[in-house]
Amino acid sequence: MTTDDEDGADRIRAGWRRELPDVPVGPIGVITRIWRLAQLFTADRERTLDRLGLDSSTLDLLSTLRRSGPPYELTSGQIAARSFVSAGAVSQRIARAEAAGLVRRARSGADGRSVAVRLTDEGRRMNEDAVADLLRHEETLLDGLGATEHDELAATLKVLLGQLTRRFDAEDRPPP
């Protein structure tokens, strides 16, 4: 008596349970759904950003600068450290945003190797508009969850994320 409101994850799980009965299918219910939700949130952001003439990597750059507070300036290295992308990607993002007039680059005073990246007024304005739009809209995406459910979800995700982050960090740094 299978329940009828199977989703994609349920179907994948049922497929593996049928075909490879020895394999544990438990993780699918969480991991596959997290992947799929991440995709949906990404696609939804992209639709909004298209309207605003931005893309998600530019938004990430502008937001990192904006969140740092006045004078909205960081070095490339600081941006890379906060962005979870490679230094090369940051360099390209800055070049694109500079061409669009959203940031300006200047050699940093103290250290001739670093580059200070600063938000222009237009970059700041576009970022503030986009962040307000996105977060207000994303709030509605989670409306279907009750307040308690929402908070418990955030809390559980935080626990899991903390555990995995610590675990992977420890694995990367094998015992001396």
Partner DNA sequence: CCGATTTAGTTTAGCGCTAAAGGAGTTGCT
Partner DNA sequence: AGCAACTCCTTTAGCGCTAAACTAAATCGG
Residue 142 binds a second copy (CB under 8 A): yes
Residue 38 binds DNA (CB under 7 A): no
Pick between residue 98 and residue 133 the one whose CB is nearest to a second copy.
Answer: 133
User: In this chain, which of 9, 93, 126, 130 binds DNA, going by CB under 7 A?
Assistant: 93
CA distance 130 to 67: 13
Amino acid symbol at 167 = R
Pick between residue 76 and residue 127 the one whose CB is nearest to a second copy.
Answer: 127
Enumerate residues 6+ apart whose C-beta is below 8 A from 159.
none
Q: With contact defined as beta carbons under 8 Å apart, do 145 and 151 qualify?
A: no
Closest to 79 in 3D by CA, of 70, 89, 71? 89
Of how many residues is the chain composed? 176
Residue 49 binds DNA (CB under 7 A): no
Which of DNA, a second copy, none lies near 109, with the C-beta cut-off 5 to 8 A by kind? none
Pick between residue 87 and residue 159 the one whose CB is nearest to a second copy.
Answer: 159
User: In this chain, which of 58, 66, 103, 116 binds a second copy, going by CB under 8 A?
Assistant: 66
CA distance 27 to 102: 42
Residue 176 binds a second copy (CB under 8 A): no
Residue 163 binds a second copy (CB under 8 A): yes
